[in-house]
Structure 1
Amino acid sequence: MVPKASGSTSLLTGARKSGISLALNGGGGQPGGVSLHDRLSARSRVTNLGVVLLLGFAALSGLMNLRYMLFSRHTNAPPLGLHSWQSFHGYTPDQLSNSVPPPRNGTDHLNHLVIVTGHAIWAGCDIKGKDRDENWVLEDYQKGGSVKTFYKHIEKGLQLTNEDPSALLIFSGGQTRPNSLQTEAESYFSLAVSAGLELPMIAGSLSNSTSSSSSSSSSSSSVGQLAHANAAVATLHGLQDARMTTENFALDSFENLLFSIARFREYTGHYPGRITVVGYGFKKGRFEELHAKAVRWNTQGFLRNGERTFQYVGVDDDISEAESQLQYRGEKVKAYNLFDKDMYGCHGRLRDKRIERNPTRRFHPYMSSAPEIADLLNWCPAPNSGLQGLYPENLPWDARVTGTGWGRGALEVKKNSKGNIIPDTRWLQIGREH
């Protein structure tokens, strides 16, 4: 009996082995076959499937990395300690913010940025010589009358700021000359103070009266009595409450606009609602049609009180009609056409000019003091990209222009992107820092 049972068991085992073999080789429909689940669960099948999945994931990862390297907008790594440039938004390093006082009382209502663009450096010691070339650091082409125009720009900027209590005047221009360590902006500021022009003061400040005659002897000496003899150094009791400041890093007209917006944010804790630029009349097209569009600032909009969101006030040299026409033609060839193709001035001749105008290797601070626009400050599209290279991401002023959430330049971006870009509502919350 025992041998017979053993034989039956052997036959059954053989039948099962035969059935599995048949099933694994496509004979699942025959007696003794196993299900599809059992076949895929067999050890060899699990190993093969795992290899296929791993290869698939590796190929997908490789394609994504290749796409990132080829098409990523940011060619530079984000600041140390930050995962991405996006995480840089809204972040100012603690060691910087801890050493900066809050914005001055009375600046919270300022919303009008008045920019006076610098062109040279006033270096005179006597205000009576402000119209003489030898008291300025000039390029050769600026000699013979341009310094009178520079002073007119200062006067116009002060006039516009005095007329509007919500305006902040910013003189913009960097340390552009190798034979002077003063910035264009600082020299304009000093000239404005030394000329005895009416200075706009912060409403409610103790320094609304700029006369130093009533100040104590200690206050007067703290101003620097002997320094008054030097018109190149601005000294005045209560000068810290003047509704004007400097932007000391711009190296060209595009940076005059962008950096002044950043400086407004740095000084007040918020961004402006409207902008007025004072400069040469022949540069109006450059600012309105190119620079404002590059930063996507609406040049055609109005605020709720009816004020224009952007204005350009042009004051040209007092020269003949023929000389004036020559200036306008030169502007078209030497500047406008270059910025038309390279709107951010980060390639070719425009980049070279910035390098030439930065002999002492200055770095602007606005990546930290205006972190909401860090990406814009670092934006550099491909050469000759023109409008196609327009900065496409959200900006703090997108939702503040006309209530639509879009500026003129932003609408063009939205059109080109087929409506895929949506304004970021978090920018609506940007205001005075506490």
Structure 2
Amino acid sequence: MLPAPVLLPRRRHFRRDSNPVLPRQRVLDFLLSRTRVTNLAFFLLSFLLSISLLFNIRHLVTTSSVPIPQSILSTVARGKTAAILDHLILVPCHAIWTGPSADLRLDEDKWVLEPYQQRSGRVEAFFQHILRGAELSLKDEHSLVVFSGGQTRPGTTITEGESYLQLALQADVFRTSFSSVIPRATSENYALDSYQNLLFSVARFHEYTGRYPDKITVVGYEMKRRRFTELHREAIRWPKDKFSYIGIDPTDGPEEKAVAKQGELQNGYLPYTKDVYGCHTQLLSKRLLRNPHIRFHSYYTSSPELAELLDWCPDDTDTLFDKELPWL
């Protein structure tokens, strides 16, 4: 038998369109056609909704209205005293006290000191800062003393702030019992330099009282007055008329004082004029060296209004933070 004939498929004749329509044009025609107006509206509304959602998500992440988790609030009980506090008395710390009794406060072996702090009369200045802060608080029942300084030394388990508070209690500088002093003095345990002493103490004040202070008094070295009043205060845009500074320097001789002032100028004031927030090169390196225990603060949670300021580190190192702040 002969094989069945192979049937060839019919040729399909395609009509060449003399005016081809591009895919993009087809979509546009689809959206703009009279019967499809609702499609265009739908896509426009969807686009606007997406943009709105993105902005709202960003707002939720950065806004001050982000609530503190209930798991944290359930462990916090602020007394009536905290509600009336409005004056932050900041005592920046410079070393760690380890002694068992305030009677030994001038014994340098009971302090963890840097080499340049030894045999310089500085430990007496440290105690004078503590004493003056306490004296100011006794005159103002609306004040809270914050001893500020982190766990800056290797081989220790206590922060600078905690050690100053411990010495203050041992010396009874608040003229009261241990149980009743707590509402009027506390420690700030994360600051690694003078700028953080100021900013973190404001955050700690809020964490402790539930509000931000109305005024600030800093008790520190006289030689650091300009650093705090001209640079750090302006960096956080704190009002000048609500900021005071009390300076107490070591009782050194003229030569030692001149060396200390020059050291402050070269290692403190001038670097901060070039790096206002202390987050680049030289000043950042100091922070890294002063954080051997890898500690980091809780203020993103307890003071969320300050989150953007806490993170502020402009490439243009003298650009001030220009966003909303709770004290302005």
The TM-score with structure 1 as length reference comes to: 0.62
Higher relative contact order (CA 8 A, sep 6+): 2
Change (3 A) 1:90 1:333: same
Change (3 A) 1:48 1:93: same
What's 1:311 paired with?
244
Work out the CA distance in 2 between the residues paired with 1:238 and 1:331: 38
Work out the CA distance in 1 between the residues paired with 2:83 and 2:279: 34
User: Are positions 1:189 and 2:165 aligned together?
Assistant: yes
**1:198 offset after TM fit, Å?**
2.7
Work out the CA distance in 2 between the residues paired with 1:85 and 1:291: 29
Q: 1:255 aligns with which of 196, 220, 242?
A: 196
**1:44 offset after TM fit, Å?**
2.7
Q: 1:292 aligns with which of 220, 233, 244?
A: 233
What's 1:157 paired with?
133
Contact 1:122 1:191 in 2 (8 A): yes
Work out the CA distance in 1 between the residues paired with 2:141 and 2:301: 28
**1:141 offset after TM fit, Å?**
0.5
Contact 2:62 2:308 in 1 (8 A): no
Unaligned stretches of 5+ residues in structure 1: 1-20, 22-41, 52-80, 200-208, 211-235, 302-308, 399-434
**1:84 offset after TM fit, Å?**
5.3
**1:158 offset after TM fit, Å?**
0.3
Work out the CA distance in 2 between the residues paired with 1:92 and 1:364: 18
Matched residues, number:
285
What's 1:35 paired with?
none
**1:328 offset after TM fit, Å?**
1.3
What's 1:135 paired with?
110
Q: 1:89 aligns with which of 64, 68, 87?
A: 64
Q: 2:310 aligns with which of 364, 374, 377?
A: 377
Change (3 A) 1:128 1:46: closer
**1:239 offset after TM fit, Å?**
4.3
Contact 1:122 1:187 in 2 (8 A): yes
User: Are positions 1:237 and 2:179 aligned together?
Assistant: yes
**1:100 offset after TM fit, Å?**
3.0
SS for the counterpart of 2:158 is: coil
Q: CA-to-partner distance for each residue in 1:178-197, whole Å, 9 max, x for gaps? A: 02110001111010111122
SS for the counterpart of 1:373 is: helix
What's 1:403 paired with?
none
Work out the CA distance in 2 between the residues paired with 1:192 and 1:86: 40
Structure number with greater Rg is 1
SS for the counterpart of 1:245 is: strand
Amino acid at match of 1:329: Q
**1:137 offset after TM fit, Å?**
0.4
SS for the counterpart of 2:21 is: helix
Amino acid at match of 1:136: W
What's 1:390 paired with?
320
Amino acid at match of 1:268: T
Work out the CA distance in 1 between the residues paired with 2:88 and 2:140: 10
Contact 1:85 1:375 in 2 (8 A): no
Change (3 A) 1:237 1:88: same
Q: Percent identity?
A: 41
SS for the counterpart of 1:115 is: strand
Amino acid at match of 1:285: R
**1:341 offset after TM fit, Å?**
1.1
Work out the CA distance in 2 between the residues paired with 1:96 and 1:354: 31
**1:271 offset after TM fit, Å?**
0.4
What's 1:108 paired with?
83
Contact 1:284 1:312 in 2 (8 A): yes
**1:280 offset after TM fit, Å?**
0.4
What's 1:246 paired with?
187
Change (3 A) 1:394 1:83: closer
What's 1:329 paired with?
262
The TM-score with structure 2 as length reference comes to: 0.81
Amino acid at match of 2:265: K
User: What stretches of structure 1 move > 4 A for 4+ residues in a row?
Assistant: none
SS for the counterpart of 1:107 is: helix
Work out the CA distance in 2 between the residues paired with 1:274 and 1:184: 24
Amino acid at match of 1:254: Y
Aligned residues: CA RMSD? 2.4
Change (3 A) 1:103 1:277: same
